[in-house]
Amino acid sequence: MHVGRDDRIAEVLILGAGPAGLVLGNILQGAGIDSVILERGSRAHIEQRARAGFLAPESVAVLGEYGLDGGLRTRGRTHDSCEFRTAAGRFELSYGGLGRREVHTVYPQQDLVTDLVAEYLRRGGELRCETTALRLGDLHGDRPWVLSRTLEGVENPLGASYVAGCDGARGLARKTFAAPSSTCEYDITWLALLVQAPPTTDTVVYGVHRDGFAGQMPRGPEVTRYYLQCDPHDDPLHWSEQRIWNSLATRLDAGRYGSLRAGPIFERGLVRLRSEILDPIQQGRLFLAGDAASSISPSAAKGANLAILGARSLARALIAALRGGDTTALQRYSAECVPRIRRAHEFSHWMINLLHPPAGPNHAFERDMQQARLHSLATSRTHQDFFAENYVGI
């Protein structure tokens, strides 16, 4: 290792090139604010990492407002209904006609990241890939700094007026941050699969089954994401293809509602359901956005959407401070974002309880409550409107 010399001082130093960091960087560059993004992974890695897919209308509007929606306007697909399959039967909720009559746009996260990287570079942003942020300092002074290390082992200190921690739930910013937080450990794990095959139906399907949850999420005409609740200690590689397809078929009741369209499983991993809310999400000149500010389980597809909206709030506040000398919005950043984050968590928590077999000493009673909730959702327009508004909105 040797220490390099980097005299570069950015107006905003952004840790992480996920949706939060890239949306922030793009808006700042568009406003003429100089930024640098440090990203641990390679450009190819971040442009291929498949994760989210469902974008809320507010996220789509933000991307449109700042000229970041070229790809999703041409290749994104509208999605407006989901289906629940339970022991009592199936029902579909066409949420595009319920609540605020809003729909999702399905656009794979890796495609969005690819678009955002290209646009960030076009706007003159500096993206340093394969560069890991190691340490943060002087967060309460005028010139905070970040020490980073390249793959070759060169360590560089970099100064900035402000630092944005957009480096995810396990990044440096979150680790550095000593803020009060509330957490929920669900003791629920999903085997997350990507399959090269079209979905059986063009809707999201939630299988609520006594063996565990199963879900089908369309990602495009030829790719489908499946989730299977599994043992937290499972090794994803120990699930044979046959066991995976049998479990999906059982829990999604494929015998009754149509066989699954099997295809090669090209990605598998474990997702442990865990939620954490921080308050505040700013300390001195460090501001968190996206998963760094709040890790949320993917049960209601809110993470990428919170990342985009948080990045927009932070960008506006930074522009007001750096261009107008007005730090009011920066001081209010947590107060603006945390209520939105809490609302998303509340619905996500509700969805988790709706979808998974209850455990613990009261599991029989909880199962009755779950059935009552599902029944209300199937039959009550008021419940359906509530669901639609929260499912699509953020």
Q: Which of residues 90-149 bind ligand FAD (CB under 6 A)?
A: 109, 132-133
In terms of CB distance, is 37 or 260 closer to ligand FAD? 37
User: Which amino acid is it at 337?
Assistant: C
User: Going by DSSP bridges, is the β-strand pair 35-38/181-196 parallel, antiparallel, or unpaired?
Assistant: unpaired
The single residue among 13, 26, 39, 319 that binds ligand FAD, judged by CB under 6 A, is 39
Q: Stretches 2-10, 207-215, 241-249, 289-297: which one binds ligand FAD (CB under 6 A)?
A: 289-297
Q: Least distance (Å) from ligand FAD to the CB of residue 20?
A: 3
Among 262, 272, 301, 95, smallest CA distance to 189 is for 272
In terms of CB distance, is 47 or 253 closer to ligand FAD? 47
Query: What whole-number distance in Å separates Cα of residue 26 and Cα of residue 340?
Result: 22
User: Which amino acid is it at 241?
Assistant: E
Structure tokens at 58: 């507010």
In contact, 103 and 95? CB cutoff 8 Å = yes
Q: Stretches 9-17, 115-123, 149-157, 317-325: which one binds ligand FAD (CB under 6 A)?
A: 9-17
Q: Least distance (Å) from ligand FAD to the CB of residue 53?
A: 5
The single residue among 43, 51, 90, 123 that binds ligand FAD, judged by CB under 6 A, is 51
User: Going by DSSP bridges, is the β-strand pair 54-55/104-106 parallel, antiparallel, or unpaired?
Assistant: antiparallel
Among 272, 273, 245, smallest CA distance to 259 is for 245
Q: Stretches 46-54, 116-124, 244-252, 318-326: which one binds ligand FAD (CB under 6 A)?
A: 46-54
From residue 206 to residue 245, the character string flagging contacts with ligand FAD as x (rule: CB under 6 A) and all else as - is ----------------------------------------
Residue 321 contacts ligand FAD per CB under 6 A: no
Among 288, 308, 306, 333, smallest CA distance to 65 is for 308
Q: Least distance (Å) from ligand FAD to the CB of residue 363?
A: 27
Q: Which residues belong to the active site?
A: 79, 206, 298, 302, 391
Q: Least distance (Å) from ligand FAD to the CB of residue 245?
A: 19
Residue 290 contacts ligand FAD per CB under 6 A: yes
Cα–Cα–Cα angle for 199, 213, 358, nearest 5°? 160
The single residue among 76, 125, 171, 212 that binds ligand FAD, judged by CB under 6 A, is 171
Query: What whole-number distance in Å separates Cα of residue 69 and Cα of residue 301?
Result: 19
Query: What whole-number distance in Å separates Cα of residue 113 and Cα of residue 117?
Result: 6
Q: Least distance (Å) from ligand FAD to the CB of residue 171?
A: 4
Query: What whole-number distance in Å separates Cα of residue 200 and Cα of residue 270?
Result: 23
Q: Which of residues 14-33 bind ligand FAD (CB under 6 A)?
A: 15-21
Query: What whole-number distance in Å separates Cα of residue 122 and Cα of residue 25?
Result: 12
User: Going by DSSP bridges, is the β-strand pair 145-150/154-165 parallel, antiparallel, or unpaired?
Assistant: antiparallel
Secondary structure of 1-24 as H, E, C letters: CEECCCCCEEEEEEECCCHHHHHH
Q: Stretches 260-268, 287-295, 340-348, 365-373: which one binds ligand FAD (CB under 6 A)?
A: 287-295
The single residue among 305, 334, 384, 390 that binds ligand FAD, judged by CB under 6 A, is 305
What SS3 state is found at 163?
Answer: strand
Which chain residues interact with ligand FAD by CB under 6 A? 15-21, 38-41, 46, 51-54, 109, 132-133, 166-168, 171-172, 192, 271, 290-292, 298, 301-305, 307
